[in-house]
Amino acid sequence: MKVFHLILAVAFFESSTAFVTVQFAQTSGASLCRQELPFQRESCGDANLLSRRTSNIDSQLSALSPIVDISNTEDENINASNILLTDETAAAAVATIEEDLPPEMLEFPRHSLPRVNDVLVETENFLQNLHQDSKKVDPRTNQRNMSPMGNANDSIFANTYVDMGAVDTVGFDYDYTLVHYTEELLTLLYSMALNRLVNDRCYPKEMLTSGLVYDNYFSIRGLAVDKETGWICHLSYTHKVAVAWEGREKVSTARIFESYRGKRGMNPRERRARLKPLNDLFSMAECCLIADTIQFFKDNEIDFCPSNVVTDILGAIRDTHISGDFHRVVANNPEKYFDVTPHLQDVLENLKSSGKRLIFAR
């Protein structure tokens, strides 16, 4: 039924031309925004309803002719929910979007059959919720306010429904579940592993003074490291190497095919042997350090064995954890490395007072 409501809502917007996407001339510092143009609501029994609505929209666009250019909706730089808006009109557009639309724009005409009327009423509610949700997006930054409290950390997202009344034991992991860290943590891990490479594994001392630092914009979870080539690989949904980087340089398609025997993919046994998934946030430091080290060797024309570089860096990251030095630094500076989680104590106490058994894993 919800799918039917969504289809009906989309059909309503398309047929009524309730929202028109326009492209404003860009002068400087353009930002993204949506412009909503109201139309005059007509009676449902009018056979010329659509043409009159279209004519009404055309007349409103004509009034904006000095600055309006009807955009090509197939332009790859523009999508259905965004337009280019100049700084001079940004404030006015934001004020327009934050205001409520006229009620008649979000209402359906009533039908003689009560059952149809029920569907129309539910669909109206659906449309109104969509409109209220759209106002949570700041058009100047295209960022959404994800929580009614204004803080994304206060929001909980689930991909399934769980009856907590049927659960008697609740388990929590420590890292990034009970405790969330700042970006400074990965910077610290990167720095300590780099020092171990130089001091314990005799890597060039120049690496410590060449400006190598953790770059939180380079790596993301879901990548993989090829332990034979040292490449940072992005796999497609069919587990083929779609894109790869050697150091900070993109690998050509020809080299990818050459490395993987004329194809981009590997069989499951080869993938398990060659690829190390970067599937947690700590591995982001590994990914960045591998790429930076290989790029340092290439820039300075130093011969190296990629598989040994990967092995050494993974070992340096492991030793940094096992030694306890890393954990002591973090524990002694919680204000620098821990994100504040003000509701954690309340959540745990509520679960405990409800008779749940709690398990904490490190």
Which of 361, 20, 340 minimizes the C-alpha distance to 180?
Answer: 340
Average pLDDT of every residue of the chain: 74
Looking at residue 342, its pLDDT comes to: 83
pLDDT band at 297 (very low <50, low <70, confident <90, very high): very high
Angle of the 306-322 helix axis to the 183-201 helix axis, nearest 10: 110
Task: Report the range out of 28-42, 81-95, 102-116 with the highest average pLDDT.
Answer: 102-116
Q: Cβ contacts of residue 53 below 8 Å, gap of 6+?
A: 16, 17, 39, 40, 42
- What are the φ and ψ backbone dihedral angles of 169, each rounded to 5 degrees? -135, 130
Do 187 and 252 have their domain in common? yes
Looking at residue 143, its pLDDT comes to: 52
Higher-confidence residue: 188 or 12?
188
* pLDDT tens by residue, 134-175: 666 655 555 544 434 445 555 556 667 778 788 899 999 888
Looking at residue 232, its pLDDT comes to: 95
Higher-confidence residue: 313 or 134?
313
Instruction: Please compute, for residue 335, the number of CA atoms within 13 A of its CA located in the half-sphere on the CB side.
Output: 0
The whole domain housing 96 covers 2-144
Do 23 and 60 have their domain in common? yes
Do 215 and 318 have their domain in common? yes
Q: Is 141 helix (H, G, I), strand (E, B) or coil?
A: coil
Which of 232, 229, 194, 226 minimizes the C-alpha distance to 213?
Answer: 194
Do 318 and 347 have their domain in common? no
Mean pLDDT of the region 50-67: 45
pLDDT band at 28 (very low <50, low <70, confident <90, very high): very low
Do 212 and 237 have their domain in common? yes
Contact criterion met (CB below 8 Å) for 21 and 79:
no
pLDDT band at 325 (very low <50, low <70, confident <90, very high): confident
Looking at residue 308, its pLDDT comes to: 95
Looking at residue 244, its pLDDT comes to: 94
Higher-confidence residue: 286 or 144?
286
Mean pLDDT of the region 103-117: 82
Q: To the nearest whole percent, how much of the chain has pLDDT over 70?
A: 65
Do 208 and 158 have their domain in common? no
Do 128 and 173 have their domain in common? no
Looking at residue 177, its pLDDT comes to: 83
Do 330 and 201 have their domain in common? yes
Do 159 and 193 have their domain in common? no
Q: Cβ contacts of residue 117 below 8 Å, gap of 6+?
A: 110, 111
pLDDT band at 37 (very low <50, low <70, confident <90, very high): very low
pLDDT band at 302 (very low <50, low <70, confident <90, very high): very high
Is the pLDDT at 40 greater than 80? The verdict is no
Looking at residue 268, its pLDDT comes to: 86
Number of domains in the chain: 3
Which one-letter amino acid corresponds to residue 210?
A: S
Do 160 and 237 have their domain in common? no
Is the pLDDT at 306 greater than 80? The verdict is yes
Tokens of 216: 């939180």
Mean pLDDT of the region 97-118: 76
Strand 224-226 to 249-250 pairing: unpaired
Do 218 and 310 have their domain in common? yes
Which one-letter amino acid corresponds to residue 216?
A: N
Greatest CA span in the chain, whole angstroms? 84
Contact criterion met (CB below 8 Å) for 179 and 338:
yes
1/118 Cα distance (integer angstroms): 12
Question: CA triplet 346, 349, 355: central angle to 5 degrees?
Answer: 145
Do 262 and 209 have their domain in common? yes
Looking at residue 114, its pLDDT comes to: 86
Looking at residue 27, its pLDDT comes to: 37
Beta bridge partners of 241: 235
The one-character DSSP state at 240 is B
Higher-confidence residue: 71 or 278?
278
The number of beta carbons lying within 10 Å of the beta carbon of residue 180 is: 15
Contact criterion met (CB below 8 Å) for 259 and 307:
no
Higher-confidence residue: 67 or 144?
144
For 241, counting Cβ atoms within 10 Å of its Cβ (0-12 exposed, 13-18 middle, 19+ buried), the class is: buried
Higher-confidence residue: 133 or 171?
171
pLDDT band at 230 (very low <50, low <70, confident <90, very high): very high
